[in-house]
Amino acid sequence: MYHGVPVVGLPLFGDHYDTMTRVEAKGMGIMVHWKSVTEEELYQALDTVINNNRYRQRAQVLSSIHKDQPGHPVTRAVYWINYILRHHGANHLRSSVYTVPTYQYFLLDVVLVVGAGLALIGYLFYRIAGLLRSKVKVQEQGGEVTHGDGGDDKANGHCHSNGAVANGKHKRNGSPVKNDKKMK
């Protein structure tokens, strides 16, 4: 592009296909696919690019756009080297990334805050789930259950119709202790 010469390209790998697609789209060359190219196709592409002035004119226009810069690149390089020498390294032009602390450069402060927030949310969910489980457990153990007959509420959630009769055989379950001795 720099010299304003039209191109016949045979892209092989990497960015060649992208480059030749752009060259063809800008009108400064023709792309020929190497897997399917024939002698006739290659001859036609070369003949078209050489004899059709449209490709050369378009290549020269793009070359002049590319070369339109303030001064020569070597002159600019010399200017910037002298500028840095005049200003003792030109620290005012250095990126601020050189002064950022390591923990900020690697975003450790952000990771810490996000991690702490997620840990807090997880802990709150854990505590809320524990409270809900304990409420459900209390309701299952101490709640009143009716059986399919639709009758009165039963003591201890069981089928005793009289609230005085407790569930179980042991004192800790609320049953009356029998002091009667067995008679033979």
Backbone angles phi, psi at 93, to 5 degrees: -95, -5
Q: How many helices (H) and strands (E) does the chain have?
A: 6, 2
Structural contact between residues 79 and 90, judged by C-beta atoms closer than 8 angstroms:
no
- Confidence bin at 126 (pLDDT 50/70/90): very high
Cα dist. 74→70, 98, 167, 178 in Å? 11, 28, 101, 112
Would you kindly state where each structural domain of the chain is located, as residue ranges?
7-67, 71-99, 105-142
- Residue keyed to tokens 């202790």: 177
pLDDT given at position 162? 52
* Confidence check: pLDDT of 63 > 70: yes
CATH code of the region 7-67:
3.40.50.2000
Is residue 158 scored above 80 in pLDDT?
Answer: no
Mean pLDDT of 109-125: 97
Residue pLDDT, tens place only, 99-108? 899 999 899 9
Is 30 exposed, middle or buried, given 0-12, 13-18 or 19+ CB atoms closer than 10 A? buried
List the one residue out of 15, 19, 13 whose CA is nearest residue 31.
19
